[in-house]
Amino acid sequence: MSPDPKAIQFLAASARHVRASEDHFAQTVPSPCLSVCQMDATTGLCQGCLRTLEEIGQWGNADDAFKRVVWARIETRLAEFAS
C-alpha cells in the first residue's frame, strides 16, 4: 500500500496535534477519517486514515482514551511507511 503523500502529511500533523493538545481535545478527540474509506487487502489498513476495520468500527462508541491510542498507532504506522 502506498498512501497518498498529502494524506500522510495531514495525518502526521494531526496525530502530533492530538498528542500535544490533550487538554484542547478534553471533550472530543477528532476522527482521523479522510473520507477515502478504501481498505488495503495486504495491510488491513484504510488507505486514507491508516486504521483497521476494528478501529474504525469502534470509533463512534469509543472513549477518548481509546481514540488517543488509535492516533498513537497511526503515528507508528506513519513512521513505518516513512522508513
User: 55 near 67, Cβ under 8 Å?
Assistant: no
pLDDT tens column, 42-67: 999 999 999 999 999 999 999 999 99
User: SS3 of 45, please?
Assistant: strand
Q: Would you kindly state where each structural domain of the chain is located, as residue ranges?
A: 5-82
Alpha helices in the chain (DSSP H): 5-20, 53-59, 64-82
Predicted structure pTM score? 0.82
Query: For the chain, how long is the longest CA-to-CA vector?
Result: 36
Range with the poorest average pLDDT among 4-8, 20-24, 27-31, 45-49: 20-24
- For residue 39, which phi and psi values (nearest 5 degrees)? -85, 135
